[in-house]
Every structure is written in C-alpha cells, then in structure tokens.
Structure 1
Amino acid sequence: MTEELDETDWSILAEVQRDGRIPFTELGPPGEPQRLGHHRARQALEALGVISGYRADVDLTKVGYAILAVVRLKYPGNRHEPLRRLLGERMEILECLRTTGEDCYTLKVAAGSMAHLESIVDELARFGSTTTNLVYSQPLPYRGPPDPAPVTVSPARTGPRPARSTRTRRRARRPPTPGTTPTRAAAGCGRR
C-alpha cells in the first residue's frame, strides 16, 4: 500500500538516506524549532514501514571481496525453493531480483577471486543457464527515490460541454490471429 507523504516526510527520507546515523537532534533544517516534530515524523515513517531498516555501506574490496559481478539466471520450471535455500546459504549473493524478460533472476555477487566467483556461478548453474558480467565500477551507488513530481491538474473547463451522443458505440473485436494462443505470462520462468 502506498503511504501519503508530505514535504517533511520526503525531507526526512532524503536526510536519512544520505546518513542513516543522523542523530534525531540534527534532523531537519538547522535552528528549526520543529526538530521534535521531525523526530516523531521519522518514528511514524518507521512504524508505517516506509523506513524499513538501516544498514552500513561496506567497501567490498577492503573486506576481501575484490570482484563484484551481476549474474543473470534463466530458471526453467516453477520450483524456486531450492534456489531460495541457496540464497540463504551463500552470503556472497548480495542481492537477488526476480525479473521479467528472458532472464528470471538477476543477482549481485561479491567474490574474493575468480575461482570463488566461478564456484558460486557453478552452484547457480545447477538451476538453469547463467550469464555473468563483471562490474568495473559503480558510477551511481544505490540511492533512494526522490519525492515524486506533483501531479498537475488541468484547470476546470469553462463554457458548455459538447453534447454526448446517446447512441452506444461498440468496438469491433478482432479475431485472434490463426496459429497463436494468447498467453498470460512469459514462458520459461516458472510462471504459468
């Protein structure tokens, strides 16, 4: 469910995403007497689940993970529990997204060496075909979403409205193209 956020909420989200350890006493513009209000607004955002947690950004190279890779996995069938178990066991898999399109999953993997990466990819290959891309650099690290652009409402129409026809129009239905069957989802990713 989408929550209604005001300008203060978006300001708090921007500050907390910049620095998750910002003290409550520094939340909000300097010298503003509403800092207690900002503190309560932050607590409300946490209670609503808008702020779902805090984490540290770790420099992977400084802790022994010199290689970062993006692995795409095509996963045939619809038994995903074995993959989910592997995701829980292999902490080197930093992130996993289930996606549409040709690949079913996109994974972010950290490894200490090429041999280490190869062993992880070999484990993933038990589930389907993989494509591995090495990351050279991260020009844009993760950032949270900005305040969405305000919705503009067109001014009210002035003057009389054009008369509507009392006849009901029906659109002609196109017959399905011979030899094709409409599908509900992409094949090959366990979605039927």
Structure 2
Amino acid sequence: MRSNLKIEGKALDGIDAKLVTLLNDNARMSIAELGRAVNMSAPSVNERLKRLEEAGVISGYTVTLDPEQIGYTLQAIVRMRQLPGKLKELEELIQSIPQFIECDRVTGEDCFYARLCLTDIHQLDEILNRVCEIAETNTSIVKSTPVKRRQVPLLLGGS
C-alpha cells in the first residue's frame, strides 16, 4: 500500500467529506458526476475513493430498503439479558433470526439491544418465544423513528 493513501488521524479533508456525503445520499452516482460536483477530474475522484476504501473509511456501497414497502409493518426494540451461561447461545440465536436487523451488545443490566422488523404481532410472539428460552426480554413497539440510522458526523481535518 502506498503511503500517500493513508488518511491521517481518520479526519477527512473538505473534498473527501463532500464525496462521502454525495455517495451517502446516492451511492449510484457515477465517478463523472462526482467529479463535476467537486470540480475534479474523474481519475482524481477515482483515486480519492480508492484511498478512502483502502483506509477503511468507505467500507461498502448499499441499497436502503423501506421495510413497510416490502411487508414489514411492525418494528420492535428488544432488550435481552441472557440466562446464566447462555450468552454465546443467545448471540448465535439472534444472528440466526433474519428479522433481527440490528443488535448491539451493551453494558448495564441487559446484554443486548436489538431491532426487529416484523410482518405482524404474531411473528413477534414466535421470535420472543424462542428467545425467552435462554434470556429475559423487555420489548417496546416502535411508533415512529424521528431519526433514522444515519452516517456518523464527518470529522474534517486541516481545512
């Protein structure tokens, strides 16, 4: 790896930040479109994107689905505390159930906070029945999401 591909301190310059923001808004933008947006040539933009990927700043390009549009009418947040000796088993169970779309291992009384996308309340019951064999749960139904998952604020370096 070439040394000029390193991003010092993981902070981005203004052009890198603009490129990341544009791609976050529309990951399908072409290199040419990105170049026009930041007043740079396509090869220069391509080199910057390669540098950002190699540094691990950009780890992928994705599609965002609207769960409701594909039949998931209910979301729930589940806090879980494993029964003694069941931590690994609980983690594996969560990973095996595709309706768990996010899960964080946390400190405090609970060990996992997870988000589920569900077709209906009966599906929630089926999943919780499996989880309750190895963990205590506390479930909340999501009424709305004022802040959808978003990218972390960009740290700008230098100027």
Equivalent in the alignment of 1:3: 10
Distance 1:118 1:13, change over 3 A: same
Identity of aligned residues (%): 27
**Runs of 4 or more above 6 Å deviation:** none
Distance 1:40 1:125, change over 3 A: same
Q: Does 1:106 align with 2:117?
A: no
Unaligned runs of 5+ in 2: 1-8
Equivalent in the alignment of 2:53: 46
Higher helix share: 2
- Give 1:120-159 correspondences, 5 Å limit: 120-148=127-155
TM-score by length of 1: 0.69
Alignment equivalent of 1:22, drawn from 29, 34, 57: 29
Distance 1:83 1:148, change over 3 A: same
- Give 1:145-184 correspondences, 5 Å limit: 145-148=152-155
**Root mean square deviation, CA, Å:** 2.4
Equivalent in the alignment of 2:101: 94
Residue by residue over 1:98-155, the C-alpha shift from the partner in whole angstroms, topping out at 9 and shown as x without a partner, is 111222110010111101011112222222211111111222211112223769xxxx
Equivalent in the alignment of 2:122: 115
Structure 1 position 76, deviation (Å): 4.2
Q: Is the 8 A contact 2:32 2:41 kept in 1?
A: no
Residue by residue over 1:40-72, the C-alpha shift from the partner in whole angstroms, topping out at 9 and shown as x without a partner, is 111221122211112211111121111111111
Q: Is the 8 A contact 1:27 1:39 kept in 2?
A: no
> Structure 1: how far apart are the matches of 2:150 and 2:125?
29
Q: Does 1:32 align with 2:46?
A: no
> Structure 2: how far apart are the matches of 1:149 and 1:36?
23
> Structure 2: how far apart are the matches of 1:148 and 1:103?
32
**Highest CA radius of gyration, 1 or 2?**
1
Q: Is the 8 A contact 1:8 1:38 kept in 2?
A: no
Relative contact order: is structure 1 or structure 2 higher (C-alpha 8 Å, sep ≥ 6)? 2
Structure 1 position 31, deviation (Å): 7.3
Q: Secondary structure at the match of 1:72?
A: strand
Q: Is the 8 A contact 1:11 1:28 kept in 2?
A: no
Equivalent in the alignment of 2:6: none
